[in-house]
Amino acid sequence: MVRPTPGDVVVPIATLPGMEIRQARVDDLADVAVVCDASARARWTERMLSPNEDRVALVAVTGGVVVGAAKTHFHGEPDGEAPAGHYLGGLVVAPGFRRRGVGSSLTIARLDWIWARAGRVCYFTDETNVASIRMHEALGFRLLGRFPQIRGVTADEPDAAMLLFEAVR
């Protein structure tokens, strides 16, 4: 699949045959927990998967198995240097399915959801998360700044910074 992105960059996305991206349901919680556990990430809560008009949670399913999950957040107020608005939130992909288009497909689906509602989206990550940074830059995100914390989140490594990015449609 090739998709145009906000910066008119063409990004080839390799997807798994038969992979479906769909809105998460509360009954996906146990499957998402398996992905989180395998990825050594905190488990998601039922609230994170519950439908809400300001945010979306999605899952990637292949062969009837949840192999990834992703969500968005909406922040109505700025927080320091972090603007108000839509943010790409957590993205978790089962280790055996990484670098196979699952994360990119989930991110494009979240962007499509946000673009239907807003012209700007933000994303932040730990500066050591090179794979995520590269994927988001390929999708048209540009760096806004480097900070010790963003919206109360600090880097996993004590000396690392948090990076704030934005994409504009």
Question: HEC states along the chain?
Answer: CEEECCCCCEEECCCCCCCEEEECCHHHHHHHHHHHHHCCCCCCCHHHHCCECCECEEEEEECCEEEEEEEEEEECCCECCECCEEEEEEEEECHHHCCCCHHHHHHHHHHHHHHCCCCEEEEEEECCCHHHHHHHHHCCCEEEEEECEECCEECCCCCCCEEEEEEEC
In CATH terms, 2-119 corresponds, of 3.30.870.10, 3.20.80.10, 3.40.1010.10, 3.40.630.30, to 3.40.630.30
**Tens digits of residue pLDDT in 51-86:** 889 999 999 999 999 999 999 999 999 999 999 999
Residues paired with residue 93 on neighbouring β-strands, in sequence order: 68
| Cα three-residue angle 12-70-160, rounded to 5 degrees | 90
Q: What percentage of the chain has pLDDT greater than the value 90? A: 77
123 burial class (0-12, 13-18, 19+ CB within 10 angstroms)?
buried
Indicate if the pLDDT at residue 151 is higher than 70. yes
Q: Which of 4-18, 31-45, 50-64, 82-96 has the lowest mean pLDDT?
A: 4-18
154 burial class (0-12, 13-18, 19+ CB within 10 angstroms)?
middle
Per-residue pLDDT, 6 = 41
